[in-house]
Amino acid sequence: MANAADETRPSPDALLKAAEKESRGKHKIFLGAAPGVGKTWEMLSAAHRGKREGIDVVVGVVETHGRAETEAQLAGLEVVPRRKVAYRERTLEEMDIDAILARRPALVLVDELAHTNAEGSRHPKRYLDVEELLAAGIDVYSTLNVQHVESLNDVVARITRIRVRETVPDRIVDAADEVELVDLTPADLIARLSEGKVYVRDQAQRALKHYFSPGNLTALRELALRRTAERVDEQMRSYMREHAIAGPWAAGERVIVCLDPGPGAANAVRAAKRSADALDAELIALYVETDRHAGLSEQERVRLAEAMRLAAQLGAEVATVPGRSVVEEIVAFARSRNATRVVVGKSRRSRWFELRHGSIVDELVRSNSGLAIEVAPSADTSPQAGPSDWLRDVPLSPGPYLEGALSTVLATALGVMIDRLIILPNISLVFVVPVLAAAVRHGLVPSLWVSGLSVLAYNFFFIPPLYLFIVADPANVVALFFFMVVAVVASALAARTRTQTESARREARTTAELYAFSRKIAGVIEADDLLWIVVTHLARLLKAEIVILMPEQGSLTTCAAFPPDSELSDADLAAARWSWDADRPAGRGTDTLPGGRWLFVPIRTSRSAVAIIGVLPQREGHALSAGERRLLEAVGNQAAVAVERVTLAEDIDRARLGAERERLRSAMLTSVSHDLRTPLASIIGSLSSLRSYGARYDAATREELLGTALGEAERLDRFVGNLLDMTRLDAGAIAPKREAVEVGDLVSTTLRRVQPLLKDHAVASIVSSGLPVLSLDFVLAEQALFNLLDNAAKYSPAGGHIEVEARPADGHVEIVVRDEGPGLAVEDLGRIFDKFYRAQEGDRRLAGTGLGLAIARGFVEVQGGTIVARNRAGRSGAEFVVSYPVG
Amino acid sequence: MLLDLGLPDVDGLGLIGRIRALGPVPIVVLSSRGDEAAKVAALDSGADDYVTKPFGAEELMARLRAALRHRLQEQGAGRVFTSDDLSVDLVRRLVRRGTEDIKLSPKEYDILEQLAIHAGKVLTHKHLLREVWRDESVDPQYLRVYVRQLRQKIEADPATPRHVLTEPGVGYRLV
């Protein structure tokens, strides 16, 4: 295992836990053995001490029960007024957790930790309120009687014969930073009681005398002392772990408790918790899902779910493994987890059941697994309610029975025919067919019915004396008996196969659903589509309204819903928000806000919580079954991963876009700095020469310098115009204003404007007559053509010919611009229209922006046209073909 | 009156309307390229002409002269428009290229008459439709058809018109 160096290093887990505790508030519990030992008084004294030291103390809730000494203690402490809750014509007062959170004291006093809140409160239990306060970083002092500790609950009940309904999970007590035992000897407590100093509720008066007997009090005191001692022990060891002090604690001890749907499950879990605590072992609750699972009654399912929840509440890991044999799976699981002890609830099954199925305890003991087997007693003696499982499967409609009777008649007829034709030694075999058929098709009971009918028919038609229900020959009695046995066994086997098949089918359906779902969401790349698939799928699976909430700009908003008009009330939204903040389920059927109509479940990936799924079953008041919850969880997990994938994909797209934009920006910077500076250099050069030496130049030189400056300024103007056009194109701010445009008009108008740039070239325009009128934006079309002509002028040698031709072409009108320049290199063809791309990079680079052609393409395409660049056939030079659709 | 439409906090169009209400002062608007809609709106609310920034002094002066001339023309209507070999006699309704009389259809003449009355000034499509067809909602495509026919008759080379010029996105101008 670990080497020496590791052992002297503080365990990371322990440090992590300590770090987590840092930001939480500190919880101190004043633990007492029984009411009246003075917990509240002690807590108030501690609060006063704190206040004197300058700590900001408020009273969240303290019950004085009219005791003068406690009342006096309360004086001088700030009390947060309680919230009034209307409940069945009465007004109850509960701790106002929101007021306390708003007040944000350093320390708050909360009496009676095990208290159950009035219906309609945020949490059903006061200890959950305390957890929220602690999570908010507020220190809490609270009081608790040992009888309310969950794992001691049934022990106390056995001692005092009073079962306390209000319990506090052990994890709350275990997680408390300090537990102070408020101790009083039984004699003193009884004395206080007789002085009337102990408050006991009216209902309890009856039990009072028995409860406060010296024997009980001693036992309770021992429990409290032991619980505190265990805690001290645990604290010491945790201290040793944090400070890496090697100690003699047992390493990796694990206790497994087997869950079953029986009434003793909860008891077994509690017993296992005590065992595990005493051994300082980890507790694992194991449920083996056999083929019998599918046939569990609703009551048994609920019991199982409750046992699982109790186990989780007691801090156990809950595991479910599928398998055929409970015992084999338990042993295998125990081996794989290195467990030493298995706790099993005492079976309350009938001897008959155990004869048929075998006792798990017996089998475990016989399995020779080396495990210590502990059998927890079953406390609850109420008779098992509801029909047993095999009876539950009985079809109540007459159909299967009629069918069975009919098939028996057919078998009889067949038997009679065979009997006439050939001599078969045992005709009874014919009757096995309808028996098996009934078992496979309808289950055990119809098949037994057919067995009975078959026996009668066989007797009546085939056993002498014929046509009488009398058996004369003793040999035939034996034959009839064995037929009966064969029929019953075959029925049972076939029926069992049937339930197994059905359970497998159900499992297969769930798996298929999940598979279909995962396939459906695998290809989705849009977040909206994905969420829609999730809500519709869940709505269908759970027969419920579904909403998905995700954080948007800091607040939780509905992103998808099915039906799409589902709306959440403010109270529902508050529950959803709580669920998001606490990363725990909330609403219907949970610990938090159970009064709500909706159930909210956070879905998360390994990285973070992604969304909240809200479920409102269509049947009013129906809570999700454990199976439905599991399905919800499975779908939710898949959805969470998918949502994360989509968001990641969006992030990647954004990053890619950002990179592209960055590349363009740097290209633009290069271009701008070059193209702005070149004309400016000419302008400044010309003007400064004129100013300094103007008088010495002759008129022609002056004219030339001025011409240069003006020409360069105009070029600069075109460049700035191009930049603006490009910006408009990039921003998608160009909406073509279409009008009827005559191509001849377009060409001549453009040529007129471009004239100054083409003065060194010979320009020819050829416009076919009878061209149709086009629907274009004149300004955009003109600018596109202008840029092409500008480009042609740039790349043509002086004196070269530039041609503009407009011609019809198969539903389009083509405008072709040809030059006599060097033409286009093959590698340029594809990129010539890219922004800031320029043929002939480097020193030979011509003045220009690398934007002209990009703008031309942008303007042509925004009007529904296309543009192509190619080399002229048969001679040097490039040609650009703009093609606009007619109509 | 020279008015820059790009003034930061004055509604230029509203200003044109107010000045126009005061009297027949010629108004020339300064505007930027790519803002054809603003030019049309300015012309429709009463501006005489526009100049696109940046511009040369020569161009500006030519436009101002045309605007002033146009105002004078309006007062003393009934003159003859001449440019190169083209002449339009607005009183006798006679159009002539060189020595040759040109026969125009009534609509063609009406368009040419409007352009000649406002010679040198840009007339928006809306203006021409209103004055010639007496209906602004007529499809501007008719206008284009008639302008083409007009060019065929009065231009020496209809493919590169010298007199009836298209102002992209705004309208037509006779020079």
Minimal Cα–Cα distance from A670 to chain B, Å?
A: 25
Task: Please tell me if the domain spanning A12-242 has the same topology as the one spanning A254-380.
Answer: yes
Looking at per-residue pLDDT, the higher value among A513 and B112 belongs to: B112
Residues of chain A in Cβ contact (below 8 Å) with chain B: 713, 717, 721, 724-725, 728, 737, 739-740, 742, 744-745, 747-749, 751-752, 765, 767, 773, 777-779, 782
Q: Count of A–B CB contacts within 8 Å?
A: 49
* Closest-approach residue (CA) in chain A for B165: A749
Q: Which of A480-484, A648-652, A762-766, B11-15 has the highest mean pLDDT?
A: A762-766
| Span B16-41, average pLDDT | 80
Q: Is the pLDDT at A1 greater than 50, yes or no?
A: no
pLDDT tens for each residue of A425-451: 677 778 888 888 888 888 788 888 888
What value does the mean pLDDT take over residues A233-239? 69
**Strand A801-809, strand A812-818: pairing:** antiparallel
Question: Which residue of B lies nearest to A751 if distances are taken between CA atoms?
Answer: B160
Task: Test A751 with B160 for CB contact under 8 angstroms.
Answer: yes
Say whether residue B140 is in contact with chain A using an 8 A CB cutoff: yes
Contacts of A717 in chain B (CB under 8 A): 54
Give B36's contacts in chain A (Cβ within 8 Å). Answer: 737, 779
Residue A93 has φ and ψ, to the nearest 5°, of: -115, 130
Residues B68-78, mean pLDDT to the nearest whole number? 64
pLDDT higher at A881 or B99: A881
What pLDDT is attached to residue A384?
A: 41
Query: What whole-number distance in Å separates Cα of residue A236 and Cα of residue A245?
Result: 10
All residues of chain B having their beta carbon less than 8 Å from the beta carbon of residue A744 are 148, 158-159
The domains of chain B, with CATH numbers, are: 1-76 (3.40.50.2300), 78-175 (1.10.10.10)
Question: Predicted confidence band at A424 (pLDDT cuts at 50, 70, 90)?
Answer: low
Q: To the nearest whole angstrom, how far is the Cα of A748 from the nearest Cα of chain B?
A: 5
Q: How confident is the model over A525-543, as a mean pLDDT?
A: 85
State the Cα–Cα distance between residues A789 and A761, nearest whole angstrom. Answer: 11
d(CA A158, CA A717): 98
CB of B152 less than 8 A from some CB of A: no
pLDDT class of A386 with cuts at 50, 70, 90: very low
Cβ–Cβ gap B33/A721 under 8 Å: yes
Confidence of residue A621 (pLDDT cuts 50, 70, 90): low
Nearest CA in chain B to A776: B169
Q: Which residues in chain B are contacts of A739 at CB distance < 8 A?
A: 140
Least confident of A528-537, A626-635, A665-674: A665-674
Q: Which fold has domain A523-733?
A: Beta-Lactamase (3.30.450)
Q: Quick check: B36 contacting A, CB < 8 Å?
A: yes
Contact check, Cβ <8 Å, A782/B159: no
Read off the pLDDT of each residue in A138-164 and give the average, rounded to a whole number.
84
Among chain B residues, the shortest Cα distance to A717 is held by B54
> Are A767 and B165 an interchain contact pair (Cβ–Cβ within 8 Å)?
no
Collapsing DSSP to helix, strand or coil, A444 comes out as: helix
Taking all residues of chain A, what is their mean pLDDT, rounded to a whole number? 80
Q: For residue A767, which residues of chain B lie inside 8 Å, CB to CB?
A: 159
| HSE (side-chain half, CA atoms, 13 Å) at A19 | 7
pLDDT above 90 covers a percentage of chain A that reads 8
Cβ-Cβ contacts under 8 Å, A765 against chain B: 159-160
List the single best residue of A745, A758, A765, A778 to mutate versus B (max B Cβ within 10 A): A745
Band the pLDDT of A786: cuts 50, 70, 90. Answer: very high
In chain A, the largest separation of any two C-alpha atoms, in whole Å, equals 153
Q: Is the pLDDT reported for residue A246 higher than 50?
A: no
Q: Is the model's pLDDT at B78 over the cut of 60?
A: no
Report the alpha-carbon distance of residue B110 to residue B127 in Å, rounded: 12
Checking ipTM against 0.90, whether it exceeds it is no
> Any residues with CB less than 8 A from the CB of B16 and at least 6 apart, and which?
B3, B27, B29, B42, B45, B46, B47
Rounded to an integer, the average pLDDT of A609-627 is: 79
The region of weakest confidence among A629-638, A658-667, A845-854 is A845-854
pLDDT beyond 60 at A649? yes
Query: At residue A6, does pLDDT exceed 90?
Result: no
Closest among B53, B52, B58, B88 to B73, alpha carbons compared: B88
Q: Tell if the CB–CB gap between B165 and A752 is shorter than 8 Å.
A: yes
Q: Which of B36, B54, B159 is closest, CB to CB, to A779? A: B36
Q: Is the pLDDT of residue A198 over 80?
A: no
pLDDT computed for residue A4 by the predictor = 44
Under 8 Å CB-to-CB from A660, ≥6 apart: which residues? none
State residue A866's pLDDT score. 92
What's the whole-number mean pLDDT along residues A83-100?
82
Return the residue in A748, A750, A782, A859 with the most chain B beta carbons within 10 A, the one to mutate for interface testing.
Answer: A748
Query: Which of the four pLDDT bands, split at 50, 70 and 90, describes residue A201?
Result: low
Q: Which of A717, A725, A749 sits opposite B166 (nearest CB)?
A: A749
Q: What is the pLDDT of residue A203?
A: 47
Tell me the pLDDT tens digit for each residue of A714-725: 888 888 888 888
pLDDT the model gives residue A475? 79
Q: Which of A422-436, A569-583, B127-141 has the lowest mean pLDDT?
A: A422-436
CB atoms A740 and B168 under 8 Å:
no
Q: Which of A137-151, A317-331, A718-732, B8-22 has the highest mean pLDDT?
A: A137-151
Say whether A745 and B144 touch across the interface (CB within 8 A): yes
Segment A415-423 mean pLDDT:
81
CB-based contact B159 A744, cutoff 8 Å: yes
More confident residue, A18 or A141: A141
Share of chain A above pLDDT 70, in %: 87
Interchain CB distance below 8 Å, A778 and B34:
no
User: Hey, which residues does A29 pair with through a beta bridge?
Assistant: A142, A179
Query: Within 10 A of A346 (CB to CB), how many other CB atoms are there?
Result: 16
Residue B141 to chain A, least CA–CA distance (Å): 6
Q: Mark yes or no for CB contact A725/B169 under 8 Å.
A: no
Residue A378's pLDDT band (boundaries 50, 70, 90)? low
Higher pLDDT, A750 or A595: A750
What is the model's pLDDT at position A90?
76
pLDDT range class, residue A142, cuts 50, 70, 90: very high
Kindly list the residues from chain B whose CB atom is less than 8 angstroms away from the CB atom of residue A863: none
Show the tokens assigned to A845. 């680079």
B159/chain A closest Cα distance in angstroms: 6
Strand pairing report for B28-32 and B49-53:
parallel
Question: What is the Cα–Cα distance from A731 to A733, expressed in whole angstroms?
Answer: 5
**Cis ω for the linkage preceding B54 (within 30 of 0):** yes
Classify domain A254-380 at the CATH topology level.
Rossmann fold (3.40.50)
Q: Give the pLDDT of residue A839.
A: 55
Tell me how far apart the alpha carbons of residues A36 and A220 are, in angstroms, rounded to a whole number: 13
pLDDT band with cut points at 50, 70 and 90 for residue A382: very low
Determine whether the interchain pair B140/A739 forms a contact, defined as Cβ–Cβ distance below 8 Å: yes
The 10s digit of each residue's pLDDT in A167-185 is: 888 888 888 888 888 888 8
Nearest residue of chain A to residue B143 (CA atoms): A740
B140 contacts A745? CB cut-off 8 A: no
Distance from CA of A96 to the nearest CA of B (A): 57
The model's confidence at residue B6, banded by pLDDT at 50, 70 and 90, is: low
pLDDT in the model for residue A460: 85
Task: For chain B, positions 72-131, list CB contacts with chain A under 8 A.
Answer: none
pLDDT at res. B7 = 65
Going by pLDDT thresholds of 50, 70 and 90, the confidence category of residue A25 is confident
Domain ranges of chain A: 12-242, 254-380, 392-500, 523-733, 734-885
Tell whether the model's pLDDT for residue A842 goes beyond 50.
Answer: no
- Give A663→chain B minimum CA distance, Å: 28
Cβ atoms of A527 and A588 closer than 8 Å: no
- Whether the per-residue pLDDT at A807 is higher than 80: the answer is yes
SS3 for A528-577 is HHHHHHHHHHHHHHHCEEEEEEEEECCEEEEEEEECCCCCCCHHHHHHHH
Please report, for residues A137, A796, A814, the alpha-carbon distance to residue A875 in angstroms, rounded to integers and kept in the order given.
84, 13, 21
Give the integer Cα–Cα distance in Å for B155 and B171.
18
pLDDT at residue number A139:
92
For residues A812 and B54, the model is more confident at A812
pLDDT digits (tens, 9 = 90+) for A337-367: 778 888 888 765 556 665 655 677 788 888 7
Task: Nearest chain B residue to A711 by CA: give it.
Answer: B56
Residues of A in contact with B140 (CB under 8 A): 739-740
Highest mean pLDDT among A125-134, A147-156, A658-667, B113-122: A125-134
Q: CA dihedral in degrees (A458, A464, A466, A472; nearest 10)?
A: -100
Please indicate whether, in this complex, the C-beta atoms of B160 and A749 are within 8 angstroms of each other: no
B54 near A CB under 8 A? yes
Nearest CA of chain B to the CA of A773: how many Å?
9
In this prediction, residue A108 carries a pLDDT of 93
User: Which residue is closest to B167 within chain A, CA to CA?
Assistant: A749
pLDDT attached to residue B47 = 85
Confidence at residue B76, expressed as pLDDT on a 0 to 100 scale:
53
Select from B58, B129, B141 the residue whose CB has the most chain A CBs within 10 Å, as the one to mutate to test that interface: B141
Where residue A389 falls among pLDDT bands split at 50, 70, 90?
Answer: very low
- Calpha distance A130→A142 (Å, rounded): 9
Q: Residues A192, A198, A199, CA angle at the centre, nearest 5°? A: 170
Q: CB A811: neighbour CB atoms within 10 A?
A: 10
Pick among 3.40.50.2300, 3.30.565.10, 1.20.140.10, 3.30.70.20: CATH of A734-885: 3.30.565.10
Q: Please report residues of B whose CB lies closer than 8 A to that of A777.
A: 169
Residue B10 has what pLDDT?
A: 63
Give the residue-averaged pLDDT of A211-216: 78
Beta bridge partners of A110: A61, A142
Q: Mapping DSSP to helix (H, G, I), strand (E, B) and coil, where does residue A512 land?
A: helix
Specify the CATH number of the domain A12-242. 3.40.50.300
Burial class (CB in 10 A: 0-12, 13-18, 19+), A27: buried
- Whether A732 shows a pLDDT value over 90: the answer reads no
Euclidean distance between CA atoms A771 and A157, whole angstroms: 103
Compute the nearest-CA separation of A743 from chain B (Å): 10
What the block records as the tokens of A659 is: 């990179």
pLDDT in the model for residue A358: 64
Least confident residue range of A83-92, A666-675, A688-697, B146-155: A666-675
Nearest CA in chain B to A742: B144
B171 vs A: CB within 8 A: no
Burial of A422 (0-12, 13-18, 19+ CB in 10 A): exposed
Contact B144 A748 (CB under 8 A): no
